[in-house]
Amino acid sequence: MSNSTGNSNNNNENKYWLSLDQWRNDPGFKEMVDKEFQSSPLSEESQGGWARRDFLKLMGASLALGSFGCVRRPIQKIVPYVNRPRDIVPGVSNFYASTFQNGGEVTGLVVRTREGRPIKMEGNEFFPEVGEALNIQGQAHILSLYDPDRLTKPVENLLNTERTNKDTVSTDWAKADKFLSSKFSQGGAYVLSDSNPSKTSREIIKSFATKFGGEYVEWSPNSYEAFKKSFSVLGASGESLPRLRIDNADYIFSLGTDFLETSYGALANSKAWGRRRDPETGEPVKLVQAESLMSLTGTNSDRRVILSSNQYLAFISQIAIKVASSLGVSTNLTSDKSALVNKASRQEDDALLKEASKIASELIKHKEKSLVLAYGSQVKNEDYEEIQKVAHFLNSILGADGSTLDYSQSPYVSYRGSDEGLEKLIGLMNKGVVKSLVIHDLNIVYLYPQREKLLKALKKVKTVVYTGSHNDETGSVSHYILPDDHSLEKWNEYESLKGIYTVQQPTISPLYDTRSFEAGLLKWIGSEKTWFDSLSETWKSRYNANKSASGFSTFEEFWVALLQKGVWDLSGFRNSKKSARPFSGSFKSTRSKKTKEGHFELSLYEKPAIGSGKYANVSWLQELPDPVSKVVWDNYLTISPSTAEKMHLNTGDVVLVKGESFKEELPVYIQPGQDSHTVGAALGYGRKGAGKVADGVGKSVTSFAKGFVSSGLDVSFSKTGKKIEIANTQGHHTMDGRQIVTETSYNEYKKDESSGIHKHKVFSLWSKHKYTGHKWAMSVDLSKCTGCSACVVACQSENNIPVVGKKHILNGREMHWIRIDRYYSGSPESPRTVHQPVMCQHCDNAPCETVCPVLATVHSSEGTNDMVYNRCVGTRYCSNNCPYKVRRFNWFNYSKVQSPLNMALNPEVTVRSRGVMEKCTFCIHKIQDGKAKAKMEKRDLKDGDIRPACEITCGSDAIVFGDMNDSSSKVSKKFAEGRTYQLLEEINVVPSVRYMTRVLNTEEKLAGHHGSAGHGEEKGHGKSGDDDHGHKKDSHAKETHHEGGAH
């Protein structure tokens, strides 16, 4: 039509004309034609009133409104760019290299932005060791930017004489600066911040402190200070945290160290773990974990030793003595064997002693290829220093130091907090030396264990300034809260591992009236420089010092390249071996502490999602099932099944926990595989003023800690008679003899690659689907998967998955498209644990497709099972017929979120309305994007062009996605491996997701359960830890024991 309506100026172009008016190009005619044919929704009627079709539309709309009384699609105006910003193409993502920094943990980031707003985080492929992997908090960090409870401008708290908050009033920067400058000029201005790996920032802070007669103290709840200091026994001082070289290790003995999840460097460790747990490439690294709580690393171990916190020292000493005597090393080390007694029988625990000898001989067997780790949070008991000494001794005499442990080439320098420094600062505060205190990026009041002591000291400080984003625990005792920019709004630079520098780029201009902390400092010290100038200087000096290494002739070129890459790796060759440092310390003869009769040892731990509580207001994290307990929205006291039985406790029973100087009521959770004398509680909960999500969730247990000792704490507890419901996404914990996760040992695997898998004879009356183009498929290697759950958050971020809250989780209405099923086998006291990520299996014979009455879920020509949201009427038949139960239903209008949280939504993925079914799409938008890109570049799709969010973020490379019709693709190769099996093969739905048998490096025979002998009975199944009746999730496993029938 456009040609004939005369939009061209030259009437000669009109081959055919309607009338002479048109031939003349008469404007009146043009208008007439436009009116006649352009009654599209875009047309604007000049004379007002309603167009014919508009009238029909309005009538229909009012009818719909009148009939149902609910607005389905509110009218929203879309305003196009008048002048398009140069870098923004609407509908096309921009990627920025940046950095995620959290209390010393530094990871490379690539931030995806759409129309100027960050929507997704991924790891940076150039970041050494870690690559594109990203942990849970890194993924969730994006939501903290859009936190609706963030402070939007500086505020002043009108503190009363008791220094509690009377009222909060808003202020402005000029007023605050004026007031504070006068205060700072009185001297004694101190700065306290979280571990700060930014050299430029530290320098500015230091010059501020120097100018105003104060000091700068860094502290972080995970400072590892004692660990760093303990290296003095190896003749080292000023040590950084060593880097683990799991690639070089064949045997790891870990004493209470969660090195795969919550300890420093977990992501890099996890990557190496993934590489070393691939039986196709050789014998998997063997992990023996000795611990009292069930940590994620513990669930991944080949053998797990359960002991109480206060047995750690005696146990590791016992091992060290055995190793030393075998290697002919003399030592004054003694082991308090009486600590290794079985507390029930009061006799030396044969099992633990035998275990110690076994570990010792295994360590010797793997000399120079072994690794002893003992720095984890569970070990932070009163013997911490001695335990470190023994561990260093072991690593030294076994030759692990320098071989499997990198202490010099590229250790972690980003963890800088100092407990001693903080204690000194508190001392100065009490003395009145500290006149004003600037607290930066650290919620010290919440995190510091002795809160009363700190609050008392803070009262003596005349002016307290806080740069946090909320009026939280620390904020409410501060005079001024001057909110710092969010790290996605701000420039910065960090050094993570020694010699590895990263840049933090702002990806959005500050959403609110916030100011970067460093800019404020520069202003206060009267510097003319901007924060960015200072950063440039740092980079310039770095560039000038390493000009030849950079490969660029000018700084400008280098700078552009740096911004593109995000990382500058100057660490050089990181994997050369060094000789072990000689051990030069001597051991104290310590007697292990004994808990009183009826008392327990409390171990405080951090959950992978909530961590220290900094991101507690991020709902994704609150609703992420704990990788081990699968509990959401709560912390609790973990107790062993036998303790529960003895004390007649059930999950959800509230007990009063009494420590030496602190007590708190906590619900109990029965955790299989936990030591019966130990109880555990997660930090990071019980926040106040942190925001609507975090406030009132769980209890703060920080104050149970004794100084910086957070494990082996003497507590007792008693029933209160109260009961609360603990929301759990998985209530049944055993596989009930079904072939769900197959396991085998490496020995069995070597004999038969398919060992552990019981193959079913299946046949179909129907012909198979033919996939002539692509056939998308995914392989999940259960040998590699650690269960860390980062993929769950990545998926949530990528696919706009809503959060539903505790109440709905109790009702079984979680929305995650990918979930990690966790099963126990063996006895509840000491179970073996497996993790299995389950997402839509995209079955070839998908049961969901046939039963949908409206064809809302259909099979694509590329093997994916596509969900058509706008066609779905919500019969939920598909979910019922799904054997994997991976479909999620929008019971309410979950997608309606508080502004500005909606800015985190990914525009490439439909936001689902109420009453619609949803599920994993294999990131179909990425598939389409990848295909389009390849087409634009006029090339074929390459393997690896398309990677779903879960695959990218996976810390151990357990997930591989690709085209099964491409025989050279990684996924095709994985599918050809003997370890690959189909989940629920016998119902012949032919899933496109295949799992790979978990291979453990153990002497135990594991393949027998489903092996050639058919379905055997799983030993002791059906009774591990299914006592939790406190929630609505099904948990009545005790009566579910049954014989597996023959197939």
Partner 1 sequence: MSLLEKPLIKGDKSPKDVTEDIAHLVEAKPHLKWLWMVLSAKSMLLFYMVVVGCIVGIGMGLMGVNHPVGWGTDIVTFVFWVGIGHAGTLISAVLYLFRQKWRTSIARSAEAMTVFAVMTAGIFPIIHTGRPWLAFWLFPYPNQRGPLWVNFRSPLLWDVFAISTYATVSIVFWYVGLVPDFATLRDRAKKDGRKIAHGVFGALSLGWRGATAHWRHYEMVYLILAALSTPLVLSVHSIVSFDFAVAQLPGWHTTIFPPYFVAGAIFSGFAMVVTLMTLIRIAVPKFKDYVTLDHMELMNKIIMTTGMLVGYAYASEFFIAWYSGSKYEGYAFINRAFGPYWWSYWTMITCNVVIPQLFWFKSLRRNIPVMFVISIFVNIGMWFERYVITVTSLHRDFLPANWGLFDMTFYDFGALIGSFGMFFTLFLMYIQFVPAISIAEVKPVLGTGKEGGH
- Residues in region 806-825 near partner 1 by CB under 8 A: 808, 811-814, 819, 821-823
**Other beta carbons less than 10 A from residue 626's beta carbon:** 22
DSSP-derived pairing of the beta strands 216-218 and 347-348: unpaired
Q: Which C-beta is closer to partner 1: that of 557 or that of 1017?
A: 1017
C-alpha distances (whole Å) from 31 to each of 5, 35, 49, 930 are 9, 6, 17, 44
DSSP-derived pairing of the beta strands 678-682 and 713-723: unpaired
Beta carbon of residue 814, minimum distance to partner 1 (angstroms, whole number):
7
DSSP-derived pairing of the beta strands 857-859 and 117-123: unpaired
Beta carbon of residue 67, minimum distance to partner 1 (angstroms, whole number):
7
Beta carbon of residue 1032, minimum distance to partner 1 (angstroms, whole number):
5
C-alpha distances (whole Å) from 698 to each of 2, 459, 631 are 64, 28, 12
Q: Which C-beta is closer to partner 1: that of 199 or that of 808?
A: 808
Beta carbon of residue 884, minimum distance to partner 1 (angstroms, whole number):
6
Q: Which C-beta is closer to partner 1: that of 207 or that of 845?
A: 845
Beta carbon of residue 306, minimum distance to partner 1 (angstroms, whole number):
24
Beta carbon of residue 18, minimum distance to partner 1 (angstroms, whole number):
29
Using CB under 8 A, pick the residue from 71, 563, 855, 1013 that binds partner 1: 855
Beta carbon of residue 937, minimum distance to partner 1 (angstroms, whole number):
32
C-alpha distances (whole Å) from 949 to each of 95, 799, 838, 944 are 15, 9, 14, 12
Binding mask 519-538 for partner 1 (x = CB under 8 A): --------------------
Beta carbon of residue 915, minimum distance to partner 1 (angstroms, whole number):
3
| Secondary element (H or E) of residue 678 | strand 678-682
What residues from 857 to 916 belong to the interface with partner 1 (CB under 8 A)?
Answer: 871-877, 879-881, 883-885, 887-893, 913-916
Using CB under 8 A, pick the residue from 9, 41, 42, 68 that binds partner 1: 68
Q: Which C-beta is closer to partner 1: that of 512 or that of 877?
A: 877
Q: Which C-beta is closer to partner 1: that of 85 or that of 1045?
A: 1045
Q: Which C-beta is closer to partner 1: that of 546 or that of 913?
A: 913
What residues from 829 to 848 belong to the interface with partner 1 (CB under 8 A)?
Answer: 836, 838, 847
What residues from 726 to 755 belong to the interface with partner 1 (CB under 8 A)?
Answer: 730-738, 740
Is position 1047 an interface residue for partner 1 (rule: CB under 8 A)?
yes
Q: Which C-beta is closer to partner 1: that of 263 or that of 1024?
A: 1024
Distance CA 390, CA 308 (A): 18
User: Left if phi > 0, otherwise alpha if psi is -120 to 50, otherwise beta: which for 310?
Assistant: alpha
Cα angle 103, 107, 109 (rounded to 5 degrees) comes to 125
Q: Which C-beta is closer to partner 1: that of 516 or that of 833?
A: 833
Residue 895 and residue 823 in contact, taking contact as beta carbons nearer than 8 Å: no
Is position 40 an interface residue for partner 1 (rule: CB under 8 A)?
no
Q: Which C-beta is closer to partner 1: that of 580 or that of 839?
A: 839
What residues from 313 to 352 belong to the interface with partner 1 (CB under 8 A)?
Answer: none
User: Left if phi > 0, otherwise alpha if psi is -120 to 50, otherwise beta: which for 526?
Assistant: left
Distance CA 697, CA 703 (A): 17
Binding mask 974-993 for partner 1 (x = CB under 8 A): ---------xx--x-x----
Beta carbon of residue 872, minimum distance to partner 1 (angstroms, whole number):
7
**Other beta carbons less than 10 A from residue 828's beta carbon:** 24
Return the axis-axis angle of helices 517-524 and 199-211, rounded to nearest 10°. Answer: 30
Torsion of CA 875, 876, 881, 887, to 10 degrees: 150
Is position 65 an interface residue for partner 1 (rule: CB under 8 A)?
no
Of 239-247, 608-616, 725-733, 934-942, which part binds partner 1 (CB under 8 A)?
725-733
Helix, strand or coil, per DSSP, at residue 317: helix
- Tokens representing residue 42 in the block: 């875009």
Instruction: Count CA within 13 A, CB hemisphere, residue 1011.
Output: 16
**Other beta carbons less than 10 A from residue 573's beta carbon:** 7
Q: Which C-beta is closer to partner 1: that of 233 or that of 843?
A: 843
Distance CA 753, CA 762 (A): 21
| Secondary element (H or E) of residue 229 | helix 225-229
Beta carbon of residue 876, minimum distance to partner 1 (angstroms, whole number):
4
Q: Which C-beta is closer to partner 1: that of 461 or that of 810?
A: 810
Torsion of CA 698, 702, 703, 708, to 10 degrees: 170
Which alpha helices (H) appear in 258-412, and where do they start and end?
Answer: 266-276, 296-299, 312-327, 350-365, 384-397
611, with CB counted inside 10 A (0-12, 13-18, 19+), is: buried
Q: Which C-beta is closer to partner 1: that of 685 or that of 889?
A: 889
DSSP-derived pairing of the beta strands 480-481 and 189-193: unpaired
Number of residues that bind partner 1 (CB under 8 A): 75
What residues from 1006 to 1045 belong to the interface with partner 1 (CB under 8 A)?
Answer: 1015, 1032-1034, 1036-1037, 1039-1040, 1042, 1044-1045
Beta carbon of residue 97, minimum distance to partner 1 (angstroms, whole number):
38
Is position 57 an interface residue for partner 1 (rule: CB under 8 A)?
no
Q: Which C-beta is closer to partner 1: that of 168 or that of 881?
A: 881
Pick the closest to residue 211 from 170, 181, 246 (CA basis). 181
What residues from 430 to 469 belong to the interface with partner 1 (CB under 8 A)?
Answer: none
Residue 638 and residue 653 in contact, taking contact as beta carbons nearer than 8 Å: no
Binding mask 643-682 for partner 1 (x = CB under 8 A): ----------------------------------------
Q: Which C-beta is closer to partner 1: that of 915 or that of 1008?
A: 915
Beta carbon of residue 645, minimum distance to partner 1 (angstroms, whole number):
21
Beta carbon of residue 933, minimum distance to partner 1 (angstroms, whole number):
28
Pick the closest to residue 796 from 634, 609, 641 (CA basis). 609
Beta carbon of residue 77, minimum distance to partner 1 (angstroms, whole number):
25
Beta carbon of residue 274, minimum distance to partner 1 (angstroms, whole number):
23
